[in-house]
Structure 1
Amino acid sequence: MRWTRAAATAATLSIMLAGCGAGPSDRPVVAVERPGAGSAKTEAPAPRELAKAEVPKTDLAWRDCTAATLSSLDFGPAPAGLVLECAEFSTPIDTAGTVLGTFRAGALRARLPQTPTDTPPLVLTSGSDRSSASTLAGLAIGPNSALLAAQPIVAVDRRGIGASQPIDCIPAQLRAVMTDLGQTGVGNADQVDAVAGFSQDATIACRDFLQPYEGTFDAPHAADDIEQLRKQWQVDKINLLGAGNGAKVALSYARRYGDHLARLVLDAPEPVGADATTMTEARVTGAEAALTAFAQRCKAANCALGADPRAAVVALMNKASSGGLGDISAADLSTALTGFLSSPRGDQVNRVTAMADILAAADRGDRGPLSAMVVREAAAITSDGEFVNRCTDSQQPPTADKARELAQTWASKYPVFGRNAAIGMMVCSAWPVSTAAPLPTKLDLPVLVFAGAADPIVGGAAASVTGTLGSAGARHATMTWQGWGHPVANHSGCAQKAVNDYLAEGKLPADGGACPA
């Protein structure tokens, strides 16, 4: 069941939430020197006695949804013994009471046969980057199983995304503009104006549709939903992992409900205090770096893209930009590439040659497999719920003139992703700029942070987050994964071991360590 305009006008709204590459690695952490930190490495001081998370006293009504979940995500069959379970719980639309009624929030739980039943779950949110359920499913099917073997993991989707009841507010005729960034045909006079027009029309449609709930899709409200899950479980403390944009939700939880946190992990966190242009350029830089790492691994595997896979991809992007890929626009190709490079699938490194085959086939004129991939990847990241949540979180989008300027500058600086990323910043240009979510000012908790060397979702943006943690008085340690992809824990056995050690005793690794690719 989807949100409908009739339902949106009801007094109470209920929503059913129904470097060469990045391979999996169990090699031990290695120390690296952090800029300005000196060469001496010391272990973090022994933590004080920390309270631990608890096993739920009153659990949700879980039902098996393994096959349905993996099928809907096109992730293939489940590994032996993996169990995915879905459940729902009610959460207030607004805990302050300014809007009455409840949503139905949805969760996905993953476990293996060896996962203990008497161990507190790890709560996961990937925010609005993609559904938290898909992030968890991607981790669960991968070859690195240490994290899931040690405890069950429960993913909670943001409102209107993934397992939540979808928001249906953007008229069908506008959707194509969003997915192909106004590239309705080669020679479009001004894609920036086309996307800005979409933003205006979609913003009016969605805010009118959601009224009076339009202000309840920000990170603090997402944190409220996680708090409601804690109450449902009847526990005092939880363990929380926020990945990408989900780190913003996790920080909002720390700000509002820090006393209920036992452990906090920020995996490839989205930067804080940054405007849309800064955040977008960080993502583009990470995507270009991830493409380079993919190309190196592709070459080593003698893949179908030839002796210089990166050059082949650049040529393919130029071909798409000039209309040489038919209905597949440059924006479509960017969606497929970014979707692959940022896939949460833990087995992604094993799919490099398959991706190369798809791209090479499209270059030869067989565009079917790439077209199917574009549809699948767009569906994963361009729902109406993601539009509403991302635009609500967005800060200081550029003007149209600035976007045009950046589209030209970035096209040469970042030849595969730059131009489309600059134009894409206009998607949220008409959405009212909201106040940035308040950050924690006091956090008496050690925090584990991961950063990726080639992250196509956030780039290398952990510094602003660790600065925030330091200002709040929280001890923290950052580990850098030297592979490509997002988030780190989905792809690195080394990172999963660090998380398990931290969850068990609250002990942080030495700051500045690295997990090899």
Structure 2
Amino acid sequence: MRPGQPATQPAAALRRVLGLAAAGLLLVGCTGGHRTGAVGAPAASSDGGGSATASAPGVTPLQPLPAAIPAALASYYAQQLDWKPCDQGFECTTFKVPVDYDHPAGGDLTLAAARRVADGAGGARRLGSLLLNPGGPGGSAVEYLESVAPGYQPAVRAAYDLVGLDPRGVGRSSPISCLSGDRMDAFAAVDSTPASPAGIDQLVAADKEFAAGCQQHAGALLGHVSTIEAARDMDVLRALLGDPRLNYVGKSYGTLLGATYAGLFPSRVGRLVLDGAMDPSLDSLDGNRAQAGGFETAWNSFVKDCDTHPDCPVGQNVQQAGQQLDALLSGFEAKPLQVDGTRQLTEAQAVTGVIEAMYADFLWPELRSALTAAKSGDGAPLLRLSDSYYGRAADGSYPNLMFANMAVNCLDLPPAFDSPTEVQRAVPDFEQASPHFGRDMAWMALACAYWPVKATGTPHTVRAAGAAPIVVVGTTRDPATPYAWARSLAGQLESGRLVTYDGDGHTAYGLGNDCVDSAVNHYLLEGQPPAPGLRCAK
């Protein structure tokens, strides 16, 4: 599973989720990571959130920007949006933002947005715009909007214009490109648990090729796709939409984007929902290690469920299942499986396929079938899961997701490791957090060491003093954004209110839990946050 930074959800998986769930989950690509048992995550306050700030030593709060719009940016805030019909029932537009907010005279970027206009059914009072972001980083909010809008509660669709803004470098907004399809195939197949100097050299070469490709194709934009810059872009769009405050639902990495907006513009916070929360106070090392623990927790949950099915291919208990998984993966390292005569299933792709299925429990039957097939020498189903994680199309092409994912992650935080030697020293800690995925995820975290642009961000807390109530949703066995991260973020936010979903899978809102959906929809429509300590059962 690569690239490797704490992340959110894979793109093709998003489409599959949307086909089976009532509302939106973006299974995000491996960026902002994974995990549930957040090793190294700071402890937060109570489930109510907002009563204390959880922060690691030396981590300072994100400072808000001046409330007044700087004169140098006034022209961006004065643009007129030209909405045109697009994509069967939606409207699309573009607008300009500066490449560099500190030097706006240096050039512009064109960003793309789409909306579904509020239908006003039942005479509903219009509440403005509701921006949606699926995470990633790298997930297209335009594609996400167009997929999930029909599944939103009718009352929400009646009151809000649902809006998707592709962040800079993503989708239709000046997208970053890095590698051709065949080179991405090679990148995805590289051994992510190298045990020899030659294997390490291969992995490092792949990381360097990826970074060089991004630098070649993206140029100066590569240094200006940070989360802070994307949050500032959202404020420009908020103003152009005519909304005095931002209303927003962000999933996975979208929670970091939304929390960053709240930290920069607390007085412009409207109704914010942050589902599957990331913890901005963690550095790359702690975040990656904690995420590995999240996938381990999800695997254990899968195994317990698997044991209740007669077609379970991995044994009768967690220990036995782990041993069988390790043996299967080791076999692929020694001898990849041929698939369709043209491709192979390598150990790295097999791991990615397993991880893909951890994002949603409705994918577990597919994983059972894929593991059964792989044990009998058929690697095609597991390879399809891996391809789904990356969004690989049947023609061998890849979407922009993984390219933007790496670019944002490597800019937002300094790398977890500077050399293979540092990874080797850290592997035991990663394996303690995750016996089955820790080694892979430690090596994945090396990728940003070779990034051509120095990170501009650092770990920080987000207080958003004076902001309206912000709802944070956390799932107890979330593989990609550990529940401890949601508790931490809710504790950092001065007005944070935590909703706990005791369940499996990545994110919770809009995926069929009446308790979570009712609480969030009531907040969006009435402005009243859920009761402190609300806990929703599976």
SS at match of 1:121: strand
* Alpha-carbon distance between aligned partners in 1 of 2:301 and 2:220, rounded to the nearest angstrom: 46
Letter in 2 for 1:453: T
Whether the 8 Å CA contact 1:126–1:247 is kept in 2: the answer is no
Q: Distance in 1 between matches of 2:145 and 2:523?
A: 19
Q: How much does 1:481 deviate?
A: 1.1
Provide the residue aligned with 1:450 in structure 2.
473
The alignment partner of 2:529 has SS state of coil
Name the aligned partner's letter for residue 337 of structure 1: V
Contact 1:127 / 1:244 at 8 angstroms: preserved in 2? yes
Give a deviation string over 1:328-368, Cα, whole Å, max 9, x none: 222212222222322xxxxx544432332233222222222
Residue 291 of structure 1 pairs with residue 299 of structure 2? yes
Specify which of 418, 430, 436 is matched with residue 438 of structure 2.
418
Alignment correspondent of 1:175: 184
| Corresponding position of 1:47 | none
Residue 218 of structure 1, CA deviation: 0.2
Q: CA deviation at 1:319?
A: 3.2
Deviation of residue 465 (structure 1)?
1.7
Give structure 2 stretches of 5+ with no counterpart: 1-19, 24-42, 52-78, 339-343, 392-398
Query: What corresponds to 1:76 in structure 2?
Result: none
Partner of 2:103: 97
Distance 1:359 1:410 in 2: 24
Kindly provide the amino acid, as one letter, of the partner of residue 90 in structure 1.
K
CA contact (8 A) 1:99 1:213 kept: no
Distance in 2 (CA, whole Å) between partners of 1:152 and 1:410 is 44
In structure 2, the partner of 1:433 is 455
1:388-419 CA-to-partner distances (Å, cap 9, x unmatched) read 11211233412422312333553465233212
- What is the one-letter code of the residue matched to 1:463? R
Structure 1 stretch displaced more, 492-501 or 375-384:
375-384
Alignment of 1:72-87 (within 5 A): 87=93
1:371 and 1:512 mapped to 2: Cα distance? 41
User: 1:293 and 1:25 mapped to 2: Cα distance?
Assistant: 23
The 5 A counterparts of 1:139-158 are 139=148, 151-158=160-167
Match of 1:123 among 116, 131, 141: 131
Provide Cα deviations, 1:310-338, integer angstroms capped at 9, x if missing partner. Answer: 61545433433333535222221222222
Range 85-94 or range 415-424, more displaced? 85-94
Matched with 2:501 is 481
Deviation at 1:246, TM superposition (A): 1.8
- Structure with greater contact order relative to length (CA < 8 Å, sep ≥ 6): 2
Contact 1:219 1:249 in 2 (8 A): yes
* Contact 1:181–1:420 under 8 Å retained in 2: no
SS at match of 1:489: coil
Q: Pick one of 232, 250, 272 that aligns with 1:242.
A: 250
**What is the rounded CA distance, in whole Å, between the counterparts of 2:84 and 2:499 in structure 1?**
34
Identical positions, percent: 22
My pick for the range that moved more, 219-228 or 372-381, is 372-381
Shift of 1:102: 2.6
Aligned CA distance change for structure 1 residues 447 and 38 (closer, same or farther; 3 Å): closer
Identify if the C-alpha distance between structure 1 residues 38 and 276 changes in structure 2 by more than 3 Å, giving closer, same or farther: closer
- Choose which of 317, 335, 339 in structure 1 pairs with 2:356: 339
Q: 1:459 aligns with which of 482, 504, 507?
A: 482
User: Is the 1:220–1:252 contact (alpha carbons within 8 Å) kept by the matching residues of 2?
Assistant: yes
Relative to structure 1, the CA distance from residue 143 to residue 359 in structure 2 (aligned partners, 3 Å threshold; closer, same or farther) is farther
Shift of the 332–43 alpha-carbon distance from structure 1 to 2, 3 Å rule, reads closer
Give the secondary structure class of the aligned counterpart of 2:132: strand
Q: How far apart are the structure 2 equivalents of 1:388 and 1:62?
A: 31
**Rounded Cα–Cα distance in structure 2 between residues aligned with 1:368 and 1:189:** 30
Structure 1 unmatched ranges of 5 or more: 1-22, 27-34, 45-56, 67-82, 343-347
1:298-337 equivalences under 5 Å are 298-305=306-313, 308=316, 311=321, 313-323=325-335, 325-326=337-338, 327-337=344-354
What corresponds to 2:169 in structure 1?
160
**1:515 equivalenced with 2:536 (yes/no):** yes
**Mapping of 1:18-97 within 5 angstroms?**
61=83, 63-65=85-87, 87-97=93-103
Determine if contact 1:127/1:245 at 8 Å carries over to the other structure. yes
Assess, with a 3 A threshold, how the Cα gap between structure 1 residues 308 and 122 changes in structure 2: closer, same or farther: farther
Name 2:203's counterpart in structure 1: 195
8 A contact 1:128–1:158 mirrored in 2: no
Q: Kindly state the Cα deviation for residue 42 of structure 1 after the two structures are TM-superposed.
A: 12
CA contact (8 A) 2:292 2:430 kept: no
CA distance in 1 between counterparts of 2:184 and 2:119 reads 42
CA gap 1:314/1:164 in 2 versus in 1, 3 angstroms? farther
What code does the residue aligned with 2:466 have? L
Q: Deviations over 1:37-59 (max 9, x none)?
A: 899x9999xxxxxxxxxxxx987
Distance 1:270 1:165, change over 3 A: same
Alpha carbons of structure 1 residues 442 and 419: separation in structure 2 relative to 1, 3 Å:
same
Give the distance between the partners of 2:534 and 2:310, measured in 1 at CA: 32
Paired position in structure 1 for 2:380? 368
Structure-1-length-normalised TM-score: 0.74
In the TM superposition, residue 449 of structure 1 has moved relative to its aligned partner by: 0.8
Give the direction of change, closer, same or farther, for the CA distance of 1:228–1:463 in structure 2 (3 Å limit). Answer: same
Cα distance in structure 1, aligned partners of 2:158 and 2:316: 40
Q: Kindly tell me: are residues 232 and 493 of structure 1, through their superposed partners in 2, closer, same or farther at Cα, counting changes over 3 Å?
A: same
Quote the residue 2:341 is aligned against: none
Cα-to-partner distance string for 1:221-247 (whole Å, 9 max, x where unaligned): 111221222122122122122322222
Residue type of the partner of 1:415? P
Q: Distance in 2 between matches of 1:100 and 1:131?
A: 27
1:383 aligns with 2:402: yes
Partner of 1:394: 413
Structure 1 residues 468 and 25: CA distance shift in structure 2, 3 A: same
How many pairs align? 448
RMSD (CA atoms): 3.9
